[in-house]
Chain A
Amino acid sequence: MARNGGVAWMRTTEKIDGYDLSTSDTEEVHVLAVDDSLVDRKVIERLLRISSCKVTAVDSGRRALQYLGLDEEIQKKETNGFDPFFYCDFQGLKVDLIITDYCMPGMTGYELLKKVKESSAFREIPVVIMSSENVIARIDRCLEEGAEDFIVKPVKLSDVKRIIDYTTTELREGELREGARAKRRGINKRKQREGDDDLSSSPPSTLSSSTSSSPSSSIQSATAPSSPSTLDSPTRRLKMTSSE
Protein backbone atom coordinates (compact mmCIF):
# COMPACT_ATOMS: atom_id res chain seq x y z
CA MET A 1 0.00 0.00 0.00
CA ALA A 2 3.02 2.24 0.05
CA ARG A 3 2.28 3.21 -3.49
CA ASN A 4 -1.14 4.46 -2.63
CA GLY A 5 0.52 6.53 0.04
CA GLY A 6 2.65 8.10 -2.66
CA VAL A 7 -0.37 8.61 -4.84
CA ALA A 8 -2.32 10.25 -2.05
CA TRP A 9 0.53 12.69 -1.61
CA MET A 10 0.26 13.54 -5.30
CA ARG A 11 -3.49 14.02 -5.48
CA THR A 12 -4.94 17.30 -6.53
CA THR A 13 -8.06 16.76 -4.44
CA GLU A 14 -6.86 17.22 -0.91
CA LYS A 15 -6.90 13.95 0.96
CA ILE A 16 -3.51 14.08 2.59
CA ASP A 17 -3.82 11.49 5.30
CA GLY A 18 -2.23 8.63 3.41
CA TYR A 19 -4.56 5.88 2.39
CA ASP A 20 -7.53 7.46 0.79
CA LEU A 21 -9.25 4.55 -0.92
CA SER A 22 -12.61 6.17 -1.45
CA THR A 23 -13.67 7.67 -4.75
CA SER A 24 -12.80 11.32 -5.22
CA ASP A 25 -14.80 14.19 -3.77
CA THR A 26 -16.91 14.55 -6.88
CA GLU A 27 -17.60 10.79 -6.99
CA GLU A 28 -16.40 10.68 -10.55
CA VAL A 29 -15.07 7.34 -11.62
CA HIS A 30 -11.44 7.62 -12.69
CA VAL A 31 -10.75 5.38 -15.66
CA LEU A 32 -7.37 4.38 -17.02
CA ALA A 33 -7.86 3.73 -20.74
CA VAL A 34 -5.21 1.76 -22.61
CA ASP A 35 -5.10 1.53 -26.42
CA ASP A 36 -2.27 1.74 -28.94
CA SER A 37 -4.55 3.26 -31.61
CA LEU A 38 -4.72 7.03 -31.56
CA VAL A 39 -8.18 7.06 -33.15
CA ASP A 40 -9.53 4.58 -30.59
CA ARG A 41 -7.97 6.47 -27.71
CA LYS A 42 -9.67 9.64 -28.80
CA VAL A 43 -13.03 7.90 -29.10
CA ILE A 44 -12.84 6.01 -25.80
CA GLU A 45 -11.70 9.13 -24.01
CA ARG A 46 -14.71 11.04 -25.28
CA LEU A 47 -17.09 8.18 -24.53
CA LEU A 48 -15.82 8.09 -20.96
CA ARG A 49 -15.86 11.86 -20.43
CA ILE A 50 -19.39 12.09 -21.73
CA SER A 51 -20.26 9.39 -19.18
CA SER A 52 -18.94 11.72 -16.45
CA CYS A 53 -15.64 9.99 -15.83
CA LYS A 54 -12.18 11.29 -15.28
CA VAL A 55 -9.95 9.74 -17.92
CA THR A 56 -6.27 9.04 -18.21
CA ALA A 57 -5.47 7.56 -21.62
CA VAL A 58 -2.19 5.80 -22.31
CA ASP A 59 -0.88 4.07 -25.40
CA SER A 60 0.57 0.85 -23.99
CA GLY A 61 0.36 -1.72 -21.22
CA ARG A 62 3.76 -0.63 -20.05
CA ARG A 63 2.64 2.97 -19.59
CA ALA A 64 -0.46 1.75 -17.79
CA LEU A 65 1.71 -0.13 -15.31
CA GLN A 66 3.94 2.91 -14.91
CA TYR A 67 0.91 5.03 -14.16
CA LEU A 68 -0.24 2.57 -11.54
CA GLY A 69 3.26 2.36 -10.16
CA LEU A 70 3.57 -1.32 -11.03
CA ASP A 71 6.31 -0.98 -13.55
CA GLU A 72 9.11 -3.41 -12.72
CA GLU A 73 11.87 -1.09 -13.81
CA ILE A 74 10.76 1.55 -11.37
CA GLN A 75 10.21 -1.02 -8.65
CA LYS A 76 13.74 -2.29 -9.12
CA LYS A 77 15.10 1.23 -8.86
CA GLU A 78 13.14 1.84 -5.68
CA THR A 79 14.40 -1.25 -3.96
CA ASN A 80 17.91 -0.10 -4.84
CA GLY A 81 17.45 2.95 -2.68
CA PHE A 82 16.10 5.48 -5.17
CA ASP A 83 13.64 8.00 -3.87
CA PRO A 84 10.17 6.74 -4.93
CA PHE A 85 8.86 10.28 -5.12
CA PHE A 86 11.38 10.96 -7.85
CA TYR A 87 9.22 8.77 -10.03
CA CYS A 88 5.95 10.15 -8.81
CA ASP A 89 5.35 11.82 -12.17
CA PHE A 90 4.47 8.35 -13.38
CA GLN A 91 1.87 7.86 -10.73
CA GLY A 92 -1.40 9.66 -10.67
CA LEU A 93 -4.85 9.66 -9.18
CA LYS A 94 -6.32 6.48 -7.77
CA VAL A 95 -7.77 4.42 -10.59
CA ASP A 96 -11.30 3.04 -10.25
CA LEU A 97 -11.46 1.13 -13.51
CA ILE A 98 -9.08 0.01 -16.24
CA ILE A 99 -10.33 -0.37 -19.77
CA THR A 100 -7.85 -1.84 -22.19
CA ASP A 101 -7.55 -2.99 -25.79
CA TYR A 102 -6.67 -6.64 -26.19
CA CYS A 103 -4.37 -6.53 -29.24
CA MET A 104 -1.46 -4.23 -28.57
CA PRO A 105 2.18 -4.50 -29.55
CA GLY A 106 4.53 -5.27 -26.66
CA MET A 107 2.21 -6.08 -23.78
CA THR A 108 -1.26 -7.30 -24.74
CA GLY A 109 -4.36 -6.32 -22.80
CA TYR A 110 -4.49 -9.86 -21.50
CA GLU A 111 -0.95 -9.59 -20.12
CA LEU A 112 -1.82 -6.26 -18.54
CA LEU A 113 -4.90 -7.85 -16.97
CA LYS A 114 -2.76 -10.62 -15.49
CA LYS A 115 -0.23 -8.19 -14.07
CA VAL A 116 -2.96 -6.13 -12.44
CA LYS A 117 -4.67 -9.18 -10.98
CA GLU A 118 -1.37 -10.53 -9.69
CA SER A 119 -0.71 -7.33 -7.78
CA SER A 120 -1.96 -7.20 -4.23
CA ALA A 121 -2.33 -3.45 -4.40
CA PHE A 122 -4.33 -3.29 -7.60
CA ARG A 123 -6.02 -6.64 -8.14
CA GLU A 124 -9.37 -5.30 -7.02
CA ILE A 125 -9.52 -2.65 -9.71
CA PRO A 126 -12.04 -3.90 -12.29
CA VAL A 127 -10.48 -4.44 -15.71
CA VAL A 128 -12.54 -4.35 -18.89
CA ILE A 129 -11.13 -5.74 -22.13
CA MET A 130 -11.99 -4.34 -25.58
CA SER A 131 -11.39 -6.30 -28.75
CA SER A 132 -12.43 -6.21 -32.37
CA GLU A 133 -12.38 -10.01 -32.47
CA ASN A 134 -15.49 -11.65 -31.10
CA VAL A 135 -13.87 -14.96 -30.13
CA ILE A 136 -15.49 -16.95 -27.33
CA ALA A 137 -12.20 -18.57 -26.32
CA ARG A 138 -10.61 -15.16 -25.94
CA ILE A 139 -13.54 -13.80 -23.96
CA ASP A 140 -13.47 -16.85 -21.68
CA ARG A 141 -9.75 -16.56 -21.11
CA CYS A 142 -10.08 -12.94 -20.08
CA LEU A 143 -13.02 -13.54 -17.79
CA GLU A 144 -11.20 -16.49 -16.20
CA GLU A 145 -8.25 -14.25 -15.52
CA GLY A 146 -10.55 -11.88 -13.67
CA ALA A 147 -11.72 -9.38 -16.27
CA GLU A 148 -14.85 -7.54 -15.24
CA ASP A 149 -16.29 -7.40 -18.74
CA PHE A 150 -15.44 -7.79 -22.40
CA ILE A 151 -16.57 -5.29 -25.02
CA VAL A 152 -16.48 -6.00 -28.73
CA LYS A 153 -15.24 -3.03 -30.74
CA PRO A 154 -16.30 -0.62 -32.07
CA VAL A 155 -17.19 0.64 -28.62
CA LYS A 156 -20.56 2.35 -28.30
CA LEU A 157 -21.89 4.79 -25.77
CA SER A 158 -24.30 2.18 -24.40
CA ASP A 159 -21.37 -0.16 -23.67
CA VAL A 160 -19.53 2.51 -21.71
CA LYS A 161 -22.61 3.70 -19.85
CA ARG A 162 -23.40 0.16 -18.75
CA ILE A 163 -19.91 -0.41 -17.40
CA ILE A 164 -19.69 2.94 -15.62
CA ASP A 165 -23.13 2.43 -14.10
CA TYR A 166 -22.28 -0.83 -12.43
CA THR A 167 -18.78 0.30 -11.49
CA THR A 168 -20.27 3.36 -9.78
CA THR A 169 -22.94 1.27 -8.08
CA GLU A 170 -20.40 -1.22 -6.79
CA LEU A 171 -18.15 1.52 -5.49
CA ARG A 172 -21.04 3.18 -3.71
CA GLU A 173 -22.41 -0.02 -2.23
CA GLY A 174 -19.00 -0.87 -0.93
CA GLU A 175 -18.72 2.46 0.80
CA LEU A 176 -22.01 1.89 2.50
CA ARG A 177 -20.76 -1.43 3.75
CA GLU A 178 -18.36 0.43 6.06
CA GLY A 179 -14.99 1.62 4.99
CA ALA A 180 -12.58 1.39 2.13
CA ARG A 181 -11.27 -2.16 2.57
CA ALA A 182 -14.80 -3.60 2.76
CA LYS A 183 -15.57 -1.78 -0.47
CA ARG A 184 -12.62 -3.47 -2.19
CA ARG A 185 -13.65 -6.93 -1.11
CA GLY A 186 -17.23 -6.11 -1.99
CA ILE A 187 -16.35 -5.92 -5.68
CA ASN A 188 -15.02 -9.48 -5.56
CA LYS A 189 -17.89 -10.89 -3.54
CA ARG A 190 -20.40 -9.89 -6.18
CA LYS A 191 -18.86 -12.11 -8.84
CA GLN A 192 -20.68 -15.39 -9.30
CA ARG A 193 -19.61 -18.42 -11.22
CA GLU A 194 -22.36 -19.26 -13.69
CA GLY A 195 -23.02 -22.26 -15.88
CA ASP A 196 -22.15 -22.53 -19.58
CA ASP A 197 -25.73 -22.13 -20.80
CA ASP A 198 -25.32 -18.39 -20.51
CA LEU A 199 -22.69 -18.49 -23.23
CA SER A 200 -25.37 -19.24 -25.81
CA SER A 201 -27.08 -15.93 -25.19
CA SER A 202 -24.58 -13.37 -26.37
CA PRO A 203 -24.26 -10.13 -24.43
CA PRO A 204 -25.73 -7.05 -26.14
CA SER A 205 -22.40 -5.64 -27.28
CA THR A 206 -21.41 -8.88 -29.01
CA LEU A 207 -24.80 -9.28 -30.63
CA SER A 208 -25.00 -5.86 -32.22
CA SER A 209 -21.51 -6.15 -33.66
CA SER A 210 -22.16 -9.50 -35.27
CA THR A 211 -25.30 -8.28 -36.96
CA SER A 212 -23.88 -5.04 -38.29
CA SER A 213 -23.14 -6.38 -41.75
CA SER A 214 -25.72 -4.34 -43.65
CA PRO A 215 -26.34 -0.63 -43.26
CA SER A 216 -29.98 -1.03 -42.24
CA SER A 217 -29.42 -3.31 -39.29
CA SER A 218 -26.44 -1.30 -38.09
CA ILE A 219 -28.41 1.88 -38.06
CA GLN A 220 -31.23 0.15 -36.27
CA SER A 221 -28.94 -0.75 -33.45
CA ALA A 222 -27.77 2.83 -33.23
CA THR A 223 -31.24 4.26 -32.95
CA ALA A 224 -32.45 1.59 -30.53
CA PRO A 225 -32.53 2.72 -26.91
CA SER A 226 -29.26 2.10 -25.09
CA SER A 227 -29.23 -0.90 -22.78
CA PRO A 228 -30.72 -0.10 -19.37
CA SER A 229 -28.20 0.41 -16.64
CA THR A 230 -28.63 -2.65 -14.56
CA LEU A 231 -26.47 -4.59 -12.16
CA ASP A 232 -27.54 -7.70 -13.92
CA SER A 233 -25.63 -7.06 -17.16
CA PRO A 234 -25.63 -10.28 -19.20
CA THR A 235 -21.86 -10.39 -19.44
CA ARG A 236 -21.59 -10.44 -15.67
CA ARG A 237 -23.30 -13.79 -15.66
CA LEU A 238 -20.35 -15.17 -17.57
CA LYS A 239 -17.91 -14.14 -14.91
CA MET A 240 -16.15 -16.53 -12.59
CA THR A 241 -15.00 -16.00 -9.07
CA SER A 242 -11.52 -14.58 -8.99
CA SER A 243 -9.15 -17.31 -7.91
CA GLU A 244 -8.16 -16.30 -4.39
Chain B
Amino acid sequence: MEVGQMQRRLVDYTKSLFMEGFLDAQFLQLQQLQDESNPDFVVEVVSLFFDDSEKLLNDLTMALDQPNVDFKKVDAHVHQLKGSSSSIGAQRVKNACIAFRSFCEEQNIDATLRCLQQVKQEYYLVKNKLETMLRVKQQIVAAGGSIPMIELGF
Protein backbone atom coordinates (compact mmCIF):
# COMPACT_ATOMS: atom_id res chain seq x y z
CA MET B 1 0.00 0.00 0.00
CA GLU B 2 1.51 3.32 -0.97
CA VAL B 3 1.95 6.13 1.52
CA GLY B 4 -0.88 8.33 0.24
CA GLN B 5 -3.32 5.46 0.58
CA MET B 6 -2.10 4.67 4.08
CA GLN B 7 -2.46 8.30 5.09
CA ARG B 8 -6.03 8.45 3.79
CA ARG B 9 -6.82 5.21 5.56
CA LEU B 10 -5.42 6.61 8.80
CA VAL B 11 -7.45 9.78 8.55
CA ASP B 12 -10.69 7.89 7.87
CA TYR B 13 -9.98 5.39 10.61
CA THR B 14 -9.17 8.04 13.19
CA LYS B 15 -12.26 10.04 12.29
CA SER B 16 -14.43 6.96 12.72
CA LEU B 17 -13.03 6.40 16.21
CA PHE B 18 -14.24 9.86 17.18
CA MET B 19 -17.57 9.52 15.38
CA GLU B 20 -18.28 6.23 17.13
CA GLY B 21 -17.39 7.68 20.52
CA PHE B 22 -14.38 5.49 21.21
CA LEU B 23 -12.20 8.56 21.57
CA ASP B 24 -13.02 12.08 22.68
CA ALA B 25 -11.36 15.50 22.64
CA GLN B 26 -8.88 14.56 25.33
CA PHE B 27 -7.16 12.24 22.84
CA LEU B 28 -6.66 15.25 20.57
CA GLN B 29 -5.04 17.03 23.50
CA LEU B 30 -2.55 14.18 23.81
CA GLN B 31 -1.75 14.35 20.11
CA GLN B 32 -1.05 18.06 20.48
CA LEU B 33 1.52 17.25 23.14
CA GLN B 34 3.55 15.16 20.75
CA ASP B 35 6.29 16.84 18.74
CA GLU B 36 9.82 16.24 17.42
CA SER B 37 11.25 16.43 20.93
CA ASN B 38 8.69 13.87 22.14
CA PRO B 39 7.80 11.84 19.05
CA ASP B 40 6.54 8.82 20.99
CA PHE B 41 4.45 10.57 23.58
CA VAL B 42 1.09 9.18 22.49
CA VAL B 43 2.42 5.64 22.20
CA GLU B 44 3.98 5.92 25.65
CA VAL B 45 0.87 7.21 27.36
CA VAL B 46 -1.35 4.70 25.61
CA SER B 47 1.01 1.87 26.66
CA LEU B 48 0.87 3.04 30.26
CA PHE B 49 -2.89 3.08 29.99
CA PHE B 50 -2.94 -0.50 28.69
CA ASP B 51 -0.70 -1.78 31.49
CA ASP B 52 -2.58 0.13 34.15
CA SER B 53 -5.99 -0.98 32.86
CA GLU B 54 -5.14 -4.63 32.58
CA LYS B 55 -3.95 -4.67 36.15
CA LEU B 56 -7.10 -2.91 37.30
CA LEU B 57 -9.33 -5.29 35.36
CA ASN B 58 -7.59 -8.23 37.01
CA ASP B 59 -8.02 -6.65 40.43
CA LEU B 60 -11.68 -6.04 39.68
CA THR B 61 -12.26 -9.60 38.54
CA MET B 62 -10.72 -10.91 41.76
CA ALA B 63 -12.55 -8.44 43.96
CA LEU B 64 -15.93 -9.37 42.46
CA ASP B 65 -15.12 -13.04 42.79
CA GLN B 66 -14.98 -12.91 46.57
CA PRO B 67 -17.73 -14.48 48.69
CA ASN B 68 -18.16 -11.13 50.48
CA VAL B 69 -17.55 -8.43 47.93
CA ASP B 70 -15.85 -5.31 49.26
CA PHE B 71 -17.67 -2.71 47.19
CA LYS B 72 -15.53 0.11 48.51
CA LYS B 73 -12.50 -1.59 47.09
CA VAL B 74 -14.27 -2.33 43.81
CA ASP B 75 -15.33 1.30 43.58
CA ALA B 76 -11.79 2.47 44.23
CA HIS B 77 -10.48 0.39 41.32
CA VAL B 78 -13.24 1.59 39.00
CA HIS B 79 -12.53 5.17 40.03
CA GLN B 80 -8.90 4.70 39.01
CA LEU B 81 -9.86 3.18 35.69
CA LYS B 82 -12.34 5.94 35.05
CA GLY B 83 -9.61 8.48 35.74
CA SER B 84 -7.01 7.03 33.45
CA SER B 85 -9.45 6.36 30.61
CA SER B 86 -10.69 9.92 30.91
CA SER B 87 -7.12 11.23 30.81
CA ILE B 88 -6.38 9.57 27.50
CA GLY B 89 -9.77 10.19 25.95
CA ALA B 90 -11.08 6.61 25.96
CA GLN B 91 -14.64 7.83 26.21
CA ARG B 92 -16.59 4.58 26.09
CA VAL B 93 -14.43 2.99 28.76
CA LYS B 94 -14.89 6.06 30.91
CA ASN B 95 -18.67 5.98 30.48
CA ALA B 96 -18.80 2.28 31.29
CA CYS B 97 -16.89 3.08 34.50
CA ILE B 98 -19.37 5.79 35.44
CA ALA B 99 -22.25 3.31 35.16
CA PHE B 100 -20.20 0.75 37.07
CA ARG B 101 -19.68 3.12 39.99
CA SER B 102 -23.38 3.79 40.42
CA PHE B 103 -24.01 0.05 40.78
CA CYS B 104 -21.14 -0.21 43.27
CA GLU B 105 -22.94 2.38 45.34
CA GLU B 106 -26.06 0.21 45.27
CA GLN B 107 -23.91 -2.80 46.16
CA ASN B 108 -25.67 -4.71 43.41
CA ILE B 109 -23.57 -7.80 42.71
CA ASP B 110 -25.33 -8.91 39.53
CA ALA B 111 -25.27 -5.48 37.98
CA THR B 112 -21.63 -4.93 38.90
CA LEU B 113 -20.65 -8.22 37.32
CA ARG B 114 -22.41 -7.16 34.14
CA CYS B 115 -20.65 -3.80 34.34
CA LEU B 116 -17.32 -5.51 34.62
CA GLN B 117 -18.04 -7.42 31.42
CA GLN B 118 -19.09 -4.20 29.75
CA VAL B 119 -15.94 -2.36 30.83
CA LYS B 120 -13.75 -5.23 29.68
CA GLN B 121 -15.47 -5.28 26.32
CA GLU B 122 -15.06 -1.55 25.83
CA TYR B 123 -11.47 -1.72 26.95
CA TYR B 124 -10.51 -4.48 24.53
CA LEU B 125 -12.32 -2.71 21.71
CA VAL B 126 -10.49 0.57 22.23
CA LYS B 127 -7.22 -1.23 22.77
CA ASN B 128 -7.61 -2.99 19.47
CA LYS B 129 -8.50 0.22 17.68
CA LEU B 130 -5.67 2.24 19.20
CA GLU B 131 -3.16 -0.47 18.35
CA THR B 132 -4.40 -0.53 14.77
CA MET B 133 -4.16 3.23 14.51
CA LEU B 134 -0.68 3.33 16.00
CA ARG B 135 0.44 0.51 13.72
CA VAL B 136 -0.70 2.37 10.60
CA LYS B 137 1.11 5.47 11.85
CA GLN B 138 4.28 3.46 12.28
CA GLN B 139 3.95 2.07 8.78
CA ILE B 140 3.54 5.54 7.32
CA VAL B 141 6.60 6.84 9.17
CA ALA B 142 8.62 3.78 8.17
CA ALA B 143 7.68 4.40 4.54
CA GLY B 144 8.99 7.95 4.88
CA GLY B 145 5.58 9.61 5.03
CA SER B 146 4.31 12.16 7.52
CA ILE B 147 1.36 11.76 9.84
CA PRO B 148 -1.59 13.78 8.52
CA MET B 149 -3.22 16.29 10.86
CA ILE B 150 -6.78 15.30 11.63
CA GLU B 151 -9.17 18.13 10.92
CA LEU B 152 -12.41 17.62 12.75
CA GLY B 153 -14.91 20.20 11.60
CA PHE B 154 -17.68 19.44 14.04
Do the two chains bind? yes
Which residues of B have CB within 8 Å of A42? Answer: 44-45, 48
* Residue interface bits B28-54, CB-to-A below 8 A is 1, else 0: 111011000010010011001100100
Q: How far is the CA of A50 from the CA of B18 in the complex (A)?
A: 25
Q: What's the Cα separation between A223 and B149 when bound, in Å?
A: 13
A162 sits at the interface (CB 8 A): no
Return the contact of B45 from the options A39, A155, A215, A219 (Cβ within 8 A). A39
Is B79 in the interface zone, CB < 8 Å from A? yes
The secondary-structure label for the interface of chain B is helix
Total interface residues in chain B, CB < 8 Å: 31
Shortest CB distance A98–B (Å): 19
Bound-state Cα–Cα, A1 to B96, Å: 49
Q: Does A26 make an interface contact (CB < 8 A)? A: no
Is A180 interfacial (CB 8 A cutoff)? Answer: no
A132 at the interface (CB under 8 A from B): yes
Q: CB distance A153 to B87 under 8 Å?
A: yes
The answer to whether A154 touches B86, judged by C-beta atoms less than 8 angstroms apart, is yes
Interface of A: prevailing SS: helix
In B34-89, the 8 Å CB interface with A consists of: 38, 41, 44-45, 48-49, 52, 76, 79-80, 82-84, 86-89
Q: How far is the CB of B44 from chain A (nearest CB, A)?
A: 7
For A41, the closest partner residue in chain B by CB is: B48
> Is A221 on the interface with B (CB-CB < 8 A)?
yes
Interface residues of A in 152-172 (CB under 8 A from B): 153-157
Chain B residue at minimal CB-CB distance from A221: B25
Task: Indicate if A46 sits at the interface (CB-CB under 8 A).
Answer: yes
Chain A contributes a number of interface residues (CB within 8 A of B) equal to 26
| Contact indicator A212/B25 (Cβ below 8 Å) | yes
Chain A residue, CB-CB nearest to B45: A42
Report how far A176 CA is from B83 CA in the complex, Å.
41
User: Is B18 touching A219 in the complex (CB atoms < 8 A)?
Assistant: yes
What are 7 inter-chain pairs, A to B, with CB distance below 8 A? A40-B84, A47-B33, A155-B87, A215-B18, A219-B154, A222-B25, A223-B28
Report which A residues bind B (CB closer than 8 A): 37-40, 42-43, 46-47, 50, 103, 105, 132, 153-157, 212, 215-216, 218-223
Q: A156-B29, A212-B25, A220-B25 are in contact. List 10 more A-B contacts (CB 8 A).
A: A37-B52, A39-B45, A39-B49, A39-B88, A42-B45, A42-B48, A47-B33, A132-B83, A154-B86, A215-B24
